[in-house]
Amino acid sequence: MHDLLISPHALPERRLRFGVWVPPFPGWPTIQKRVRMIEELGFDSIWIADHFANPFNTRTAWMEAWSLLAGIAACTNRIRVGTLVSTLIYRNPALLAKQAMTIDNISRGRLTLGLGAGVRADPAHRMTGVPAWENRERVARFEEGVQIICQMLREEETTFDGEYYQVAGAVMLPRCVQRPRPPLLIGADGRRMLSIAGRFADAWNMLGKLSYSHTEFVQKAAEAMHVLTYSAKVAGRDPQKVRRSLCLGWTREDIYAGLAAFRDYLSPFIELGFTEFMLGYWHESDIDQQAPIKHLPDEERLIWMAKVAIPSLRSIAQTM
């Protein structure tokens, strides 16, 4: 069944949203301090990457995402929280739905559930003993998982008999705070994944590639948005009710070099209809081997982003 009802938290609006994705390191005291600062600075959301280990260096500190998200939900009051994104590599979809319901209750209705299909190269496959599925199976598993999760978050009891996953009489009590369910964000750029996002997602998230130039990334985003729009229409949904979001950092350009660089990078995406952007934030000293991802490297840059860059961009976007 197509998931046609949309959470009120996911309805589009003209105001740009800015979230911060924080890696699950170096440790809880530091992460707690940072997420409280992110909330105090007025950001709209906090996101946690959900991998079993650091995909760039598996021998570095790396905490478990959903346990960490519970702590973040408990120590914040206003800001939305979510995963960017969770996969089904080592999570049964019924259990993942139960985790989402729990965090939605702990946060008092501030969860956005981010899901993705993952990749064969993820070290989680070998580290957890789960075979590295071929792409067709990976996407098919994801589609079944999304259907189970959406149904369980909306209903008290769910039964589902699929090719890869089966649940029988799965009870979900207490119910979610957000009705009919917490907003669902799907990370996708391939045609089959975009089709699933068009059918089920309240928000779609796109991730770039370090090999893309800025022009190439904008073109890829435009092409992906076309597929998403078509898929939503085929499913009988209003494409404008699927929020477009972008996870920043996978780029050649230093987008945080200054206000002009930040504005020039984001402006074409805003013109395409993207209204939510997730910025990476961690300190250079947090980890020995740095990933080649552009991010806010210290508190000073984080504060500058909240106090200067974002207000300026929002002001400019109102005239676009």
Summarised one tens digit per residue, pLDDT across range 92-138 is 999 999 999 999 999 999 999 999 999 999 999 999 999 999 999 99
Model pLDDT for residues 223-270, shown as the tens digit of each residue: 999 999 999 999 999 999 999 999 999 998 999 999 999 999 999 999
Measuring CA to CA, how many Å separate 303 from each of 192, 299, 310?
39, 6, 10
Segment among 7-11, 140-144, 290-294 with least mean pLDDT: 7-11
Name residues whose C-beta falls within 8 Å of residue 215's C-beta, 6 or more positions apart in sequence: none
Name residues whose C-beta falls within 8 Å of residue 179's C-beta, 6 or more positions apart in sequence: 7
Q: How confident is the model at residue 165 (pLDDT cuts 50, 70, 90)?
A: very high
**Gap between the Cα atoms of 230 and 237, Å rounded:** 10
pTM: 0.94
107 CB neighbour count, 10 Å cutoff? 24
What DSSP element (H or E) covers 304? helix 299-304
Q: What is the CATH number of domain 8-317?
A: 3.20.20.30
| Domain assignments of the chain as residue spans, ordered by start | 8-317
Q: Which pLDDT does position 2 carry in this prediction? A: 32
Measuring CA to CA, how many Å separate 191 from each of 139, 159, 240?
11, 28, 19
DSSP string, 192-231: HHHHHHHHH-SEEEEE--TT--HHHHHHHHHHHHHHHHHH
Q: Is 115 helix (H, G, I), strand (E, B) or coil?
A: strand
Measuring CA to CA, how many Å separate 183 from each of 18, 88, 156?
17, 18, 18
Q: How confident is the model at residue 290 (pLDDT cuts 50, 70, 90)?
A: low
Query: Residue 15 pLDDT more than 90?
Result: no
Q: What's the number of CA atoms in the CB half-sphere (13 Å) around residue 244? A: 22
Average pLDDT, the chain: 93
Q: Which pLDDT does position 258 carry in this prediction? A: 95
List the one residue out of 88, 133, 135 whose CA is nearest residue 113.
88
List the one residue out of 19, 59, 174 whose CA is nearest residue 108.
174
